[in-house]
Amino acid sequence: MKTLKCDLCEVTAKGETFEEWMEALKPHYMQAHADVMNNPKNGKKEMEKWMAENKARFDAA
Ligand SMILES: [Zn+2]
């Protein structure tokens, strides 16, 4: 089980795998960073970039 910080603030989420961590972080993200999620500029490409960056962060933790 790894604990990793949100990429935008100090809140942490836990998960055995990156996918679990992402699921655990999702409610926080929707609440605290809804503006980021709803930004039309953040399309599929940005989402993929976010996933790649955070997966690397998770693997390094
Ligand atoms: Zn956050």
- Distance from Cα 46 to the centre of ligand 1, integer Å: 17
Half-sphere exposure of 49 (CA within 13 A, CB side): 6
Distance 56 CA to ligand 1 centre (A): 17
Q: What tokens were used for 44?
A: 């599929």
pTM: 0.87
Per-residue pLDDT reduced to its tens digit, 20-60: 999 999 999 999 999 888 887 778 888 899 999 999 999 99
pLDDT number for residue 40? 78
Q: What's 14's DSSP letter? A: E
> How far, in Å, is the centroid of ligand 1 from the Cα of 59?
19
> Torsion-angle region of residue 13: left (phi > 0), alpha (psi -120 to 50) or beta?
beta
The DSSP secondary-structure symbol of 11 reads -
